[in-house]
Structures are given as structure tokens and as C-alpha cells.
Structure 1
Amino acid sequence: MDALRDLEFFGVLCRAGSLSAAARELDVTPAATSKRLAAIEQRLGVQLLNRNTRSMSLSAEGELYLREGRAIVGRVAELENRLKPGEDTVRGALRINASLGFGRKYIAALVSAFVQRHPLVTVDMDLSDHPLDLVERSYDVGIRFGALPDSTLHARRIAPHRRLLCAAPGYLERAGTPRHPVDLADHNCLILRQNEEAYGIWRFQRGREQLSVKVQGNLSANDGESVVAWALDGHGIIQRAAWEVDAYIARGALVEILPEYALPQADISAVYHYQQFVPPKVRAFIDFFAEYVADTALPTGGA
């Protein structure tokens, strides 16, 4: 049982993000937390965390220990739940990561409905302006759009979704409407800073034609709602997910541009890091997510 407790301790430590934060959560001293980590590493003969005075990160061995350890802890919890007759086996703490805008608009309501169906589950929802590492931050589920860069994660596609190019009618009256993606180089494009490698690069496809266009403009932000607001004010052209702009397009506040060109897909997926064993709370949440999206009038952009 000491090995199981060590796995649980390491999960708390990684979720907390620092020795001092873990110590507060465990109600022990930072020195005791550091000593226990050192004892685990000595027993295993590997370094689990790379750490200095200001930060810590998982080593390759630490990532494996955390990922497989959480699965083991989850399986033990599931076994104990199965031995309790007459009780809902969907229980425990569930940690979710989603984007700020989508999380506020859709996932918060989803979580509210989910815990009504499964009252023995507690949910910790963390919204961020960029996807966070599920393993290192000890998240059970992440809500993602588009292609997944991390091949070690498992994903379930929840719904098709499109990105759209659009601008306010007033801007198009002043600057003209692009007829081809290359025309965007002559327009004021409002850029969302999410991926520094692809900053200001917009990609398009029509049939076999594929092209990338370097765009620029006088406004950029790391917040999608701000970029949409600037477009509504007539400052320029934006590329956003359908759920963010469909309502504005429907009432004429924004106009879709170049609809015949496909932008990089933005399908909605639930991702998780569990390998062979997926805890019931995770399976239940993902199933509920798919059911909820199917029953909700979620804009897809015509996909």
C-alpha cells in the first residue's frame, strides 16, 4: 500500500505544481513534502522531477510514473466502488481543461448538468487561453479544437466544426471583399496569438489547391473575444471558430468571406491520457459531453 500512497502523493504534487503548494494541500511542511519525494526517487532509482528554486517539470520517468500511476490509482478506486452494492460507480474528483471562451459559453453549463446526473462526482474546471499539458497538470479530460499535436493522448471526436473567415459589412465596404486568399495580404487582418510558429499564417484549401498566406494587421491579441469585438467594430478580417461568430453572421453583423475555401479543421474532441484503463468518471463525462452537444444547438459552420 505504500507504493499506492506514493502514486497518490505524486499525483497531488504534480497537480499542485510546486512543493509548497502540495504541502499546503496535504497539510504538511514543504520540507516533509521534499523529503517524501526524495524517498520515492531513491526507492525507484530515478529522478521524477527536474526542479530548481523557481520551477519544476516532469522528467521522462516522471511522466511515465504519473500517467501509469494515475491509471493504477483509478483502477483501485473503481474496484472499491464495484464492491459497494447499490452505489453509483461514477464518482470521484474530475479535472477538466477547456478554452476560456468555449468553457464559459458551453462547458460550464455542461458541467452543471453533468453533476446533476452524477452527484457523486466533484468537478474542478480550469479554463485557459491555450491548451494545458494534461499529464503534467493532472487533468482527466481536455476539450480541444482541431488537430492534436500530442500523439500520446487519446481523443474522441465529439462533433465536426469549422473555422470561418469574416469581417463587418462596414469594413468590406471600405476595403473591398477578398476574392482569393492571396488578396488577404492587402487587408487588415486581426490576429489571435495562439501558436507562435504559425503566427500570422492563415492556411486554405480548395480541392487540390493548398496555400498559406502571411497576413498582417494593426491589432492582435491572445483573447478570441477581443478579436471578435474588433471585427464587429469594423477594424478588419478575422479567422474564428463557427461557435464564436455564427450568431453575428446570422444577423448580418459579420459577413463570411471566401466560403468556398476550407480553413484548418476545428473538430471538437475530448482528449485524455489514460491508456488501457479509463476511469468511469472520465467515460461518463465524455459520453455526456457527446450527448449534450448532440442535443444543443451548437453552431458548426455548416460542417
Structure 2
Amino acid sequence: MRDADEMRIVVEIVRQGGLSAAARHLGLAPSVVSDRLARLEQRLGTRLLVRTTRRQTLTEAGRIYLDEATAILAATDAMETRVRETVNAPGGMLRITAPMPFGRVRLAPFVAGFISRHPDIRIHLTLEDRMVDIVGEGYDIAIRAAPVVDTALTGRRLMESRRVLVASPAYLSRHGRPETPADLARHACLVANMTGQCRGTWRFGRGEKARIHRVEGRLASSHSELPVVWALAGLGLAQKSLWEVEAHLRAGQLVTVMEDWEPDPATFYAIHTVSTVHSHKIALFMGELLQPGNGVVG
């Protein structure tokens, strides 16, 4: 038990950014946390953290200890969860991450219905447009627009999302309609990416026949919903899933272009770790998530 407590102290010092913050998070006095860390370092015969008045920095030994401790604690927590759930109804916290706007439009309504049906389960839903480290950041389930490539993870296909290229009538009246991907070089392309650059990659076609085109404009964002906002403002072309823009298409605020060059569809997957495959609450959530007609599966 002592070793597990010491591991949690090191992990929380790094996660919380300092000894005092870790002590508050763990409900311990700072002197207790400091003393346990000192005893651990004395037993190991090496420093794990270099402490200054402003910050805590991991040594090389500290980085090794942190990686191993994080994995051990995650496995221990998963084991205890599985044991509890063999005798109890599914309950406790589910931490889920999903991209915007899929999480807002598709997943959030489903989650609202799920917790009403299962009052013993709590859910924390994080929406952000980046590839989350499920294990390292402590998530139970992640929704991704990419298949599983990590052997520690397992996943199920949720839906294939048709994508379209759209622009506002005002933009097209000023700049004309593109007819082929080659025409995009003369247009403002609104890009969503995590690169910090105003350029991106758009794919047209399907599967192995898809053709990749580099596009560039003056506006880009790491937030995937902003290209729609900018397209509505007449600032350029956006490549989005049909369900993201269909209300704007019906209202005439946006129109589709290059219909003969339909973008490669996006496929969404629900992913969790292999170690949690027998978790009752995860199995329950995944089972209902994969039911047709729930607004998520398609």
C-alpha cells in the first residue's frame, strides 16, 4: 500500500504542477507529501524531482519512475474496477473524449439520455480537436475519426460521415465557383488543423482512389467548427461533414460546390483500452452507443 501511495504522490506532483497543488488534490498536508517523496528518493538512492522555488522538474530517473508508476496505477485501478463491478451494478465515473462538433451534435444528446437511464453512472465529456492519449490522460472512451492503430486499444465503427465542399452565395458571387480540385489554388480554403499553419490536405474520392490536394488560405484554426463560421461570413470554402452544414444548406446560407468531386468520407470510431474490455459500465455504454437509431450510429 505504501508503494502505491508513493506512486500516486509522484504522479500528482507532476500532474498538478507542484507539491502544494498535489497535496491539496490528495487531501494531505504539504509536509506529508514532501516527507513521503523524500523517503521514496532516499530508498531509491536517487532524486526523482529537482525542486526550486518556482517549479518541479523530473530527472531522468524521475521520468522512468513516472512512466512505470502511471502504468501500474492505471492497471491497479482497472483491476479494482473490474472486481467491484462483478458484484455491483454498473456505476461510477466514465471519462469520455470526442472531437468537436461530433461530440456536441451527436454524442452529447446520447449522453443525456444514457445517464437518465443509468443514474449510478456519472460522465465527464471532454470535447477537443486533438488526438488524445487515452491511457496517459486517463480516459475510458474516445471517439476518433481514425481507426485503431495501437495494440493496447480496441474500437468499434460508429458511422461513416459523407462530406461536402461548401461556400456562401456571397463568396461565390465574388470569386466564382470552383469546378475541379485544381481550381482551389485560386480560392480561399478554410482549414482546420493542429499544425499552426494556414494550409491543409483535402481528399476527394473514396478509399484507394482518393486524390489528395494541398490547399491554402488566410484562415485556419485548431477548432473544427470555425471553418463553418467563416464560410457563413463569406470568407472562403470549407470541407465539412454533411450533418454539420445541412441546416445552413436548407436555409440557403451555404451551397455545395464541386459535386462531381465529393470529398473522401470521414469514419468515426469508439475506442477504449483492451484492459477495460470487461468493465461493466464501459460495456453498457458501448452497447447502447452502437445501437442503430440512437442518433450516433450511421
Shorter-chain TM-score tier: 0.7 to 0.9
| Larger mean Cα displacement after TM superposition, 158-167 or 190-199 | 190-199
Equivalent residue for 1:70, pick from 62, 74, 78: 74
TM-score normalised by the chain length of structure 2 = 0.78
Which residue pairs with 1:227 in the alignment?
227
| Residue deviations 1:98-154 (CA, integer Å, cap 9, x gap) | 234333333332222111222111222222242332222211111212355756432
| Residue deviations 1:230-277 (CA, integer Å, cap 9, x gap) | 211222101122331122223432222234435344211112234374
Give the number of equivalent residue pairs.
294
CA shift at 1:228, angstroms?
A: 0.6
Measured in 2, the distance between the counterparts of 1:192 and 1:170 equals: 22
| Residue deviations 1:61-112 (CA, integer Å, cap 9, x gap) | 64454345423322323323323xxx42x11111111234333333332222
| Larger mean Cα displacement after TM superposition, 3-12 or 164-173 | 3-12
CA shift at 1:10, angstroms?
A: 7.1
Which residue pairs with 1:248 in the alignment?
248
Runs of 5+ unmatched residues, structure 1: none
Which residue pairs with 1:295 in the alignment?
293
CA shift at 1:278, angstroms?
A: 4.0
Measured in 2, the distance between the counterparts of 1:170 and 1:207 equals: 33
| Larger mean Cα displacement after TM superposition, 102-111 or 113-122 | 102-111
Measured in 2, the distance between the counterparts of 1:299 and 1:256 equals: 25
Verify: 1:283 aligned to 2:273, yes or no. Answer: no
Distance 1:77 1:229, change over 3 A: closer
The DSSP-based 3-state class of the residue aligned with 1:146 is coil
TM-score normalised by the chain length of structure 1 = 0.77
The DSSP-based 3-state class of the residue aligned with 2:188 is coil
Measured in 2, the distance between the counterparts of 1:221 and 1:32 equals: 44
Which residue pairs with 2:84 in the alignment?
80
CA shift at 1:282, angstroms?
A: 1.6
Measured in 2, the distance between the counterparts of 1:51 and 1:283 equals: 43
Measured in 2, the distance between the counterparts of 1:246 and 1:4 equals: 52
Measured in 2, the distance between the counterparts of 1:45 and 1:107 equals: 49
**Native 8 Å contact 2:11 2:69 kept in 1:** no
1:208-223 matches, within 5 Å, as: 209-223=209-223
**Native 8 Å contact 2:198 2:219 kept in 1:** no
Runs of 5+ unmatched residues, structure 2: none
Amino acid at match of 1:76: E
Measured in 1, the distance between the counterparts of 2:154 and 2:9 equals: 25
